[in-house]
Amino acid sequence: MFIKASWDAPTRLLRFMKIPKSYLFIICLFTFGAMAFTLVDKDESNLETLYLNRVLALEKELLQLQNQLAANSLHELNLGSARIKLKAVDPMLRYLDPINYKLINGPLPIEWETEVFEKWEPPYKRIGGGLTLMQLELGEAEPDRQKISEYLNLALSGIVNFKRDSLVTMQSNAWVGHFSNRLFLLNLATIYTTGFENPQSEFILEELHQSLIQQHNYYIAFNNRFPQQGFSESYLKLFLEAIQYAASQKEYGDFNSFLWIKNYVNPLFTIQQELINSHKLFSKNLQDYSLNNEATSIFSKELYTGLSPKGVFQPVQDTVVLNRLTAFGEQLFFDPILSGNLKRSCASCHSPAMAFTDNNVTTAVQFNFNGVLLRNTPSLLNVSYNHLAMLDGHLFSLQKQVEEVTTNKLEMGADKKLILKYLNSIETYKKELAFAAKQTPNYPKPAFNHVASAITLFYTKQNNSVSAFDKMMNQKGMDDTLVIKGFNLFMTKAQCGTCHFLPIFNGVKPPYTNSEFEVLGTPADSLYSRLSSDSGRYSIYPSNEALRAFKTPTLRNIYKTAPYMHNGVFKNLDQVMAFYNNGGGAGHGLKIANQTLSADSLNLSTTEITAILAFLKSLDEDLDINNVPKNLPLSSNKILNMRKPGGEY
């Protein structure tokens, strides 16, 4: 290592971008601020060396922390330098090995992961360690030295994996640089500035700035190595402007997340996607399993693939055929022929007029009025942007959800074979079932799979709906000052963005391969007299961490989908905001040992809450809702002709 004036990196960049050297001083002044000199390795133009040097620098910091921990008071332990070294190599560590990354910088001591490509298997127990957990423990009134030591040892064990030759040599592939950078950009928009992984908000902007500078240095090395597949002039120019913007942000509480994403991160993402396609790059990493190379905006409904709306019709591409299958699904959605008593349809609980939920009840009535259901009816809007279905995540497809609800004795009480018999007694439905079966060579006979897949095709056609906020971010709508203020609070002080990740604002974060579950301490009543008795995900996969955990839902159309929480305990968003502002169940005095939501008050003012609510309102989408059909097709079985469109209850 040697000290070198940091003019060299911009000079090389200027040569690549063909910018006159007369602009060098101005660019360096605004880009690097007070950083007059940097430490640069002689061989950092070599990508393998650059990567390995950064890993070794992080390991060195961790070893120094280990020595300090053994010799000094906990109050003297400072993780800042280690976190900066982490940020230098963070994009690669996350991309190459996300499991071992959790040992270095895990958000939770234990997580039960269910990746999209493994979701048919039980969740895997992932151990977390490293810097974030160490900092959280240091913030406790009486920090536990043993816990901190364990987290540090886990980080050291994790870093060893990143020195493997197989990961070092991965740097020799151009696709690795571009796809890892895409994940970096997505994280710039979603987690790097929200406090998701840094409990010390006062250092988030410094880490952001340092991370950008290090990534800029990586681009220079990458372009030297891959001049034909490098980052374009337009990309590098905009990235320099992003560094300048980040350097200009002085106080985290004033950070403008909206402008940061709209003017810098999202346009950079657009260029990155164009580069991936123009260079004809293909990923071999499961991190890219769900992401769509064709999406041109982070705020595109095409950004990633979750649960399949098409089911058995997945191979079908013909628009005319899909439209006919969708129309068939729409008929079935409103037809109580799918229930055991011919009085209940899908629309009974998921009313399109109420954003595919039911605003009138806390929880829906059971089949044949035998009490009420345990959980609130979730909206069906945007449900395909999850990787698991149901609030506890126990189903792996939307079609299985249709099947389970239809045959559940507490919900619709039907029998699949009887449903098919009934459908075939109606000439229109018999014809449509036969048509559906012709589209699926692997399922040549009409089956309930065709019924379920047609229904999911119908309600997921709303996936193309966009919100006012989408239009603002995609520069297709007028910016609203109050909405922007609300979004900025959402992403910073209010900490909402640490669980509700854009663009869907649900529990699916980059690289969008799994659905997260949270323990919030939801009460059984609005007076907080006791916790909800619903064990949530624990009933599916028993573990201490899963007790009362529920899948994080989307906030899109939140104004249309009251009541709220898994049990419908809150009637309006004012109650919801009060719940979060005061620290969830634990913050309201309820005893819950495993709450993942911080129990500390957010200290949001009335004015700030008003702004956040304005932002949430901007997430309401332009829905194309159809009315309930006036008539249902007649059957040769006269008993079936008594059924009413939409059902009776």
Chain segment 320-379, per-residue pLDDT in tens? 999 999 999 999 999 999 999 999 999 999 999 999 999 999 999 999 998 999 999 999
5-36 pLDDT, tens digit per residue, is 333 344 444 443 444 433 443 344 344 433 33
CB atoms inside a 10 Å sphere around CB 625: 12
pLDDT band at 541 (very low <50, low <70, confident <90, very high): very high
**Every domain of the chain and the residues it spans:** 43-288, 311-464, 482-617
Instruction: Note whether 4 and 36 are within 8 A (CB).
Output: no
How many Å apart are CA 521 and CA 383, to the nearest integer? Answer: 23
How many Å apart are CA 190 and CA 167, to the nearest integer? Answer: 26
For residue 474, give the 3-state DSSP assignment: coil
Q: What is the mean pLDDT of residues 445-472?
A: 97
- Give the DSSP letter of residue 368: G
pLDDT for the residue numbered 29: 38
Over 60: is that where the pLDDT of 408 sits? yes
482-617: same fold as 311-464? Answer: yes
When comparing pLDDT for 13 and 148, which is higher?
148
Over 60: is that where the pLDDT of 175 sits? yes
Instruction: Note whether 136 and 108 are within 8 A (CB).
Output: no
How many Å apart are CA 174 and CA 535, to the nearest integer? Answer: 47
Over 50: is that where the pLDDT of 246 sits? yes
When comparing pLDDT for 36 and 443, which is higher?
443
Architecture of domain 482-617: Orthogonal Bundle (1.10)
Q: What is the mean pLDDT of residues 56-83?
A: 94
Class of the CATH domain delimited by 311-464: mainly alpha
Please, where are the H alpha helices in 334-397? Answer: 346-349
pLDDT band at 45 (very low <50, low <70, confident <90, very high): low
HEC profile of 28-59? HHHHHCCCCEEEECCCCCCHHHHHHHHHHHHH
Please, where are the H alpha helices in 191-300? Answer: 204-225, 233-248, 257-259, 266-278
- What letters, b where the CB count within 10 A reaches 16 and e where it falls short, cover 254-274? ebbbbebbbbbbbbbbbbbbe
When comparing pLDDT for 102 and 42, which is higher?
102
pLDDT for the residue numbered 20: 43
Over 90: is that where the pLDDT of 626 sits? no
Q: How far is CA 399 from CA 305, 389, 391, 539, in A?
A: 16, 9, 15, 22
- Do strands 110-113 and 124-127 pair parallel, antiparallel, or not at all (unpaired)? antiparallel
Pair of tokens at residue 120: 């048919």
Mean per-residue pLDDT of the chain: 92
Over 60: is that where the pLDDT of 39 sits? no
CB atoms inside a 10 Å sphere around CB 640: 19
Which residue's entry shows tokens 């993942």?
Answer: 596
Q: Which helix (H) or strand (E) holds 85?
A: helix 80-96
pLDDT for the residue numbered 489: 98
pLDDT for the residue numbered 128: 97
**CATH number attached to the domain at 43-288:** 1.20.1420.20
